[in-house]
Amino acid sequence: MRFYQLSIEERLKALAETAGLTPEETAALSGAGGLLPEQADHMIENVAGVFGLPLGIAQNFVVNGRAVLVPMAIEEPSVVAGASFMAKLAAAGGGFTAHTSAPEMIGQMQVLDLDDPASARFKLLEQRQALLDEAAQVDPVLVKFGGGPRDLEVRLIEDSPIGPFLVVHLIVDVRDAMGANAVNTMAERLSPRVEQICGGRVHLRILSNLADRRLARARCTVPLGALGFEEYTGEQVRDGIIAAWAFAAADPYRAATHNKGIMNGVDAVVIATGNDWRAIEAGAHAYAARGGRYASLSRWARDAQGNLVGTLEMPMAVGTVGGATRVHPAARAALKLMGVQTAAQLAEIIISVGLAQNMAALRALATEGIQRGHMGLHARQVAIAAGASGDQVERVAARMVQEKAIRVDRAQEILNELDR
């Protein structure tokens, strides 16, 4: 039997055997042994409980030559199935090739009340190495593991609502952490020294979520022969995907929904691993507008052999140490399930899932329409909302799909008929 045909218990057993999960880790993935209210109470304020999301496992992913099972926490139908199927098509061309840049984050210091901002900028740059040396003393453990301050940049903002000011960028290699705490601490520690050097006043000291020095990139080639289905030829599917991408590349209204489809895949893995999906979202959309106009994060084209080629590049500030990633039992189990050892490996998987999900959305839009894939799963959700349970869910959903009337009131009518 295929994975999707198994019961939840059978799926968990298969995952445990494949990834060597302990009973405790398996229970964490199932939700039965996940985050406890007592643990949550130490994570945020005013805790009243723990909120759950469906956790699905994307299949068929091959990333840099390694087969990967990918946990995805998401409530939206068709995302896990769509990513899995596109990963299967990509696997026919060798899977996804992914890589990351150095794990460097930017800490910003806003310097106000300067008589001569241009001269102050030069003074700070002259003391660049001394400032980096001082920042390195803040986190000797990070430095021990090969990370720490890497560079210092100073930007002059000449046109702002409050007039000119300086922005100091402290570039920090954060290794396998997301890095917010380390970077923010270093920026705060350096502030008095910055003020002393340039004679200004440091106002804000905070990490930037536009992590454009910490990029992840993925590429896949889908053979033309793998693209055709039903009445659609491979050429029609390929050209339809490229035309749909061109729409997003040229129009910000379309680009917003196009990129949302990418983030369906990205966010689901980020959430499943306990990382900060809001930071990833902020960085992605800012990066999409880096050219002065909001545009597509991905790119689709045909190669010389006529195959479909997709690429995706975006900031990917995720970690495998610290934060909820190490506190949340399900997040720890998710990392083990993927066989992830470093933040770079995690980023490579996430960016590949984003590209797969983008292809799934474009393929659906360019051929049969987005609703066909959503219809069956949406109908089940509507049936449950109407009060269906057990085998009633499938029976009610099937009737609504057949009638093309997927509404709660119709589901209730069908339920009443079944109860007679």
- Segment 113-141 mean pLDDT: 97
Instruction: Mark whether 89 and 234 lie in a shared domain.
Output: yes
Instruction: Mark whether 151 and 275 lie in a shared domain.
Output: no
- CATH (domain of 408): 1.10.8
Name the residue range of residue 192's domain: 104-207
The pLDDT of residue 374:
64
Question: Distance between the two ends of the chain, CA-based, in angstroms?
Answer: 35
- CATH (domain of 133): 3.30.70.420
pTM for this prediction:
0.92
DSSP 12-50: HHHHHHHHT--HHHHHHHHTTTS--HHHHTTTSSS----
Of 224-238, 330-344, 389-403, least confident by mean pLDDT is 389-403
- Segment 266-287 mean pLDDT: 98
The pLDDT of residue 158:
96
Instruction: Mark whether 272 and 293 lie in a shared domain.
Output: yes
- Segment 9-37 mean pLDDT: 94
Instruction: Mark whether 330 and 404 lie in a shared domain.
Output: no
| Mean predicted lDDT score pLDDT of the chain | 95
Return the number of other C-beta atoms located less than 10 Å from residue 305's C-beta: 9
The pLDDT of residue 390:
86
Express each pLDDT in 303-347 by its tens digit: 999 999 999 999 999 999 988 888 899 999 999 999 999 999 999
Indicate whether 382 belongs to any domain. yes
The pLDDT of residue 260:
98
- CATH (domain of 261): 3.90.770.10
Of 111-120, 194-203, 380-389, least confident by mean pLDDT is 380-389
Of 139-143, 348-352, 391-395, least confident by mean pLDDT is 391-395
- Segment 262-290 mean pLDDT: 98
Percent of the chain whose predicted confidence (pLDDT) is above 70: 98
Instruction: Mark whether 268 and 355 lie in a shared domain.
Output: yes
The pLDDT of residue 269:
98
The pLDDT of residue 82:
95
Query: Whose structure tokens read 């970077």?
Result: 183
- Segment 131-146 mean pLDDT: 97
Indicate whether 12 belongs to any domain. no
Instruction: Mark whether 255 and 139 lie in a shared domain.
Output: no
Beta-bridge mates of residue 171:
106, 151
What region does 113 belong to: left with phi over 0, alpha with psi -120 to 50, or beta? left
List residues with catalytic annotation: 76, 260, 276, 374
- Segment 249-257 mean pLDDT: 98
Domain count, the chain: 3
Q: Phi and psi for 404 in degrees, rounded to 5? A: 55, 40
Express each pLDDT in 339-389 by its tens digit: 999 999 999 999 999 999 999 999 999 997 766 656 766 788 899 889 998
Q: Are 183 and 135 a contacting pair, CB within 8 Å?
A: no
